[in-house]
Structure 1
């Protein structure tokens, strides 16, 4: 049985680890909060009280952490992953971090005899629960193939997009597009409401045409109810758009529409709405239009 260490059992990592247990992997989970570890144990996994405990016997290790500094601390820090990894360990970082950090982790792993993939995901909590994530993978081809049984348990679309760091670059593009789609959906809902059109009926027909998207399918119903329970928090999307901005500057390209959405997201986080789902952009859009919305039942 393949032993998979899993570090980071949050909104995304928890259901992902549970799906690996259900698929028959021996999963050893570690998390800063004990409740998430207990939930994994109840599902059939095993608990690790430390990073070392999750790494020591692992054939494959997955990290699913909030930001670049978190991944760097867990992987490169004192008493971290590389310090305790067995030679040949396959480390799959599924967090969303800066592409340059992903490349640095790959280089450090190579020096330590650890194979490293950057494999960020898209689809949010529902896809994590369903095991239908889209996974964009950067790294060596042979390592991607070695990881495929695990990745196919977690996702429906797994694509090797290039060398180390490429997965994170594609994820940055994904987050740019998702933010833009959510903002335009929010503006469309406000526009429809202002004209007295049945927004639910309008969304149904829009979804069947060129305006249709996964964002519309997954987010519109909650937005019409003005329910912003986080599947993906605005604070995390704020972090991701910072990655986009930095990577775009590094490449010498401009993202004018993305920059506007990044400012709107930043404004929501600054005023204390970072814990809302990123579909909460509708809330700010309504306020800017002077039309606070009424939840639909």
Structure 2
């Protein structure tokens, strides 16, 4: 079993850290809001008082924070991971950030004698709680192999997809597909309601055919109940779609549907829905159709 520092104990990070404790690892967790470390402590982990406190003595340092600047600050700040991790420590970034930032951080980590994997995840809060995440990993194959017991405690689909930055690139593609699928489902729901169709029956049919998807299975209750308790917040998906569009521009790739969906997600965020689950894209379609509610 491994001694792990886990930085970032939010909606995703907290259940992930708890699952590592359940798997038998020794976990010290840190979050800027100390109260968010309580569930980890209650599960048998340790609430650290600082990044340095969590990292000292850790064989693996895991991160799950919101955005590229947050990862940069946690890793490279004066009191950050790079300043306190012992040579040979394996840093695993589960956050979703820009691929170019990941490559730069991996290079800096290597220069400090550290190992680095980018390992963004998909599956939302339910996947994190149920240890059923999909994990796409970029970095050295040997480091991936060393981290496998950690990944296996957190996910069901764990795949090494290439060198540093590859995990983040695959995650960007994932977020494009998820956002486009939610938008299509939201439009279908508004369309079906406009014709008075039994929505529950209609989603049964869609879910059992080619239109079925993991997105429909996970977001069905939200769409039926018009309930958007966050499993993955719109504000974060807005950030992710910004990563998609900027990376596509850098690569000279045209993503016409992706660009449109990015604008719709940005509209949801700008309209005050950023704290809601990304299935609240339904509210965008409803507003465009002349109604805030069905």
The alignment's TM-score, normalised by the length of structure 2, stands at 0.99
The Cα of 1:76 is off from its aligned counterpart by 1.1
The Cα of 1:267 is off from its aligned counterpart by 1.2
The Cα of 1:77 is off from its aligned counterpart by 1.4
1:118 paired with 2:118, answer: yes
The Cα of 1:210 is off from its aligned counterpart by 0.5
Looking at structure 1, the residues matched to 242 and 292 of structure 2 have their Cα atoms a distance apart, in angstroms, of 28
Deviations 1:210-229 (A, max 9, x none): 00000000002211110011
TM alignment of 1:138-157, pairs within 5 A: 138-157=138-157
SS at match of 1:272: helix
Looking at structure 1, the residues matched to 53 and 21 of structure 2 have their Cα atoms a distance apart, in angstroms, of 18
SS at match of 1:96: coil
SS at match of 2:159: strand
1:277 paired with 2:277, answer: yes
Partner in structure 2 of residue 65 of structure 1: 65
The Cα of 1:268 is off from its aligned counterpart by 1.5
Looking at structure 1, the residues matched to 214 and 11 of structure 2 have their Cα atoms a distance apart, in angstroms, of 20
SS at match of 1:57: coil
Partner in structure 2 of residue 181 of structure 1: 181
Looking at structure 1, the residues matched to 33 and 120 of structure 2 have their Cα atoms a distance apart, in angstroms, of 22
SS at match of 1:131: coil
Unaligned runs of 5+ in 1: none
Deviations 1:226-283 (A, max 9, x none): 0011100000000000000110001000111111111111112112111111000001
Unaligned runs of 5+ in 2: none
Q: Give 4+ residue runs of structure 1 displaced > 2 Å after superposition.
A: 291-294
Looking at structure 1, the residues matched to 137 and 293 of structure 2 have their Cα atoms a distance apart, in angstroms, of 40
The Cα of 1:178 is off from its aligned counterpart by 0.3
Partner in structure 1 of residue 81 of structure 2: 81
Looking at structure 2, the residues matched to 32 and 292 of structure 1 have their Cα atoms a distance apart, in angstroms, of 36
The Cα of 1:9 is off from its aligned counterpart by 0.3
Deviations 1:69-109 (A, max 9, x none): 00001101111111101110000000000000110111001
TM alignment of 1:141-220, pairs within 5 A: 141-220=141-220
The Cα of 1:293 is off from its aligned counterpart by 3.1
Looking at structure 2, the residues matched to 252 and 186 of structure 1 have their Cα atoms a distance apart, in angstroms, of 30
The Cα of 1:122 is off from its aligned counterpart by 0.1
SS at match of 1:159: strand
Looking at structure 2, the residues matched to 219 and 76 of structure 1 have their Cα atoms a distance apart, in angstroms, of 37
Looking at structure 1, the residues matched to 291 and 111 of structure 2 have their Cα atoms a distance apart, in angstroms, of 57
The alignment's TM-score, normalised by the length of structure 1, stands at 0.98
Larger displacement relative to structure 2 (267-276 or 159-168) = 267-276
1:130 paired with 2:126, answer: no
The Cα of 1:291 is off from its aligned counterpart by 3.9
Looking at structure 1, the residues matched to 291 and 36 of structure 2 have their Cα atoms a distance apart, in angstroms, of 40
Partner in structure 2 of residue 3 of structure 1: 3
Deviations 1:25-56 (A, max 9, x none): 00000001111112211110012111111111
Larger displacement relative to structure 2 (140-149 or 214-223) = 214-223
Partner in structure 1 of residue 46 of structure 2: 46
Looking at structure 2, the residues matched to 247 and 222 of structure 1 have their Cα atoms a distance apart, in angstroms, of 31
TM alignment of 1:6-45, pairs within 5 A: 6-45=6-45
Looking at structure 2, the residues matched to 134 and 195 of structure 1 have their Cα atoms a distance apart, in angstroms, of 37
Give the length in aligned residue pairs.
294
